[in-house]
Amino acid sequence: MTQLKATMAGTVFTVNVAVGEEVAAGQVVLVLESMKMEIPIEAESAGKVTAINVEVGDFVNEEDVLVTIEA
Amino acid sequence: MHKVLIANRGEIALRIIKTCQRLGIKTVAVYSEADAEMPFVKEADEAFLLGPAQVQQSYLKADDIIDIAIREGVDAIHPGYGLLSENAEFVRKIQQAGMVFIGPDADTIDKMGDKIGSRVTMQAAGVPVVPGTDEGVASLEEAVQAAADIGYPVMLKASAGGGGIGMVRCENEQALSQHFQSIKTRAKAYFGDDVVFLEKFIANARHIEVQIFGDHQGNVVHLFERNCSVQRRNQKVIEESPSPHLPEEARQRLLQAAVDAAKAVDYKNAGTVEFIVDEDNKIYFLEMNTRLQVEHPVTELVMGYDLVNWQLEVAKGNELPVKNQEEIQSTGHAIEFRVYAEDPVTFMPSPGTIATLDWGDTAGVRIDAGYVEGDKVTPFYDPLIAKVIVHAKTRNEAIQHSQTFLTQVNIAGLKTNIPLFNKFLKSEEFQTGDYSTAVLPAWLDIQKEEK
């Protein structure tokens, strides 16, 4: 199981995957907007999305768990 | 004008307060919870909390800001740049409340805020525009057809876009297909309007803009140009005036086009007309910014004028302090560096607490800083910590002074782009002054290859 965390505080700009979806390593699963910059959050390894903890527009803090992926 | 509310934050709020203080005008700051301890809040005569850190819940709450202004007996509202500065509805509400907006008319903002509309207006005024579509492209099929007519590469842009957001360069049909929907999505998310259009990408172009000023008596002047070609992610990091390697004949064409553009929309107060200048010194209108620019100090240092003071005079209904174009002269050379809280290599934002902020010997250097040592740079706003502006007799002297100054600056606690400036200033690309908007990305690629 891999937990993708926010690399810095920001607002969830897009959520590009759904629960149950298979993702590839390096795929951008979510984009944060912080300090007027878009920050892509990529899957570290291939697997299935089992949980998405945020919605577009949510503010998240650094280290918050955004998405869970199981191999 | 006795009391001005500043609907902004950080360095630009402080900059406006400074001129108001000099003129004996009281200032009112508005701020978010994240900014409660910021210098601009302390420096204003009065300050009022708007709400939580997120701009939608604080600095973009137009009605709340206007309510505070009415309650506190404010005469005028200065919007700074960004945030509500180009929001025509905000302007109309201020005027309906019986106060003065320190900026152009709402109708002018409306006309120029829409990139497609402004292209059409400028063409009608005889100002050359970049070849492109004069209407939004509604579907990918339409975009592909239009791009084929224009010729690749093209820029796909949000009509309501700004600040480098909502635009992408497409080399071919595949890239256009890949980016079309995402630019529409971003345009909707950032600007509330998903209309996109296409422009020809002009290779090896310079981004040069002209500071213009108009008053209510119909006077319009230019205050010369700024070269803003040093950019990362389509956002400016270094600006200079005058623009190097611009033949005098081309400069005159550029300045006249800017004045024509301003007159075409009956422009009042401070504005900037942005142009693309190609390798043959052909000029193309890009957009008009209906506000004071981040880089206005570059103009202030070569002109010797206080542009905020000019804004206040025009807002009061007075004529421009200098309306005879021949009297307006540019002296020496000025360069501005935007000091951002970001990684100097990846440009990733670097929020945090400024543990040390030591500018060193600031003789001959203007620093417009929004922060002091100990302040937090939060992730809620753009990462601009300060602007460093150097003015000297010649470009070479300005570069040398910049090098001496920037190497002694000590900012600790977060990353800044000062190491980038220290390396880039020594590069042949910058030293010669013969550079285009591709200069910084290309130079960074060379640095990576050499490692």
List of E strands, chain A: 2-5, 10-15, 22-23, 28-34, 37-42, 47-52, 59-60, 65-70
User: ipTM of this predicted complex?
Assistant: 0.81
Does B189 sit within 8 Å of A37, measured CB to CB? no
Q: What is the mean pLDDT of residues B200-219?
A: 96
Look at residue B163 in the predicted model and tell me its pLDDT. Answer: 65
Q: Is the pLDDT of residue B339 over 70?
A: yes
Q: In the structure, what pLDDT confidence band is assigned to residue B451 with cuts at 50, 70 and 90?
A: confident
pLDDT at B193: 87
Q: What are phi and psi of B110, to 5 degrees?
A: -60, -50
Do you find a cis peptide bond into B297, omega within 30 degrees of 0?
A: no
Integer CA distances (angstroms), B109 to B55, B152, B267, B361, in order: 21, 31, 10, 41
User: Considering CB atoms only, which of B189, B342, B347 is closest to A13?
Assistant: B189
Contact residues, A window 1-40, toward B, CB-based 8 Å cutoff: 8-11, 13-14, 34-37, 39
Q: What is the crossing angle of helices B115-124 and B248-264, to 10°?
A: 110
d(CA B375, CA B249): 47
In this complex, the residue of B54, B185, B383 whose CB is nearest that of residue A35 is B383
User: Rounded CA gap, B367 and B297, in Å?
Assistant: 10
Distance from CA of A47 to the nearest CA of B (A): 24
Residues B263-292: tens digit of each pLDDT: 999 999 999 999 999 999 999 999 999 999
The residues of B whose Cβ lies within 8 A of any Cβ of A are 54, 163, 165, 185, 189, 233, 341-342, 347-349, 351, 378-383
Question: Could you give the 3-state DSSP secondary structure of residue A14?
Answer: strand
Cα distances (Å, whole numbers) of residue B137 to B165, B199, B339? 18, 11, 37
Q: Is the pTM of this model over 0.90?
A: yes
Identify the band that residue B262 occupies on the pLDDT scale cut at 50, 70 and 90.
Answer: very high
Q: How high is the pLDDT of residue B448?
A: 84
CB-closest option in B54, B189, B351 to A35: B351
Closest to B222 measured CA to CA, from B281, B299, B278: B299
C-alpha A39/C-alpha B257 separation (Å) is: 38
pLDDT of residue B12: 98
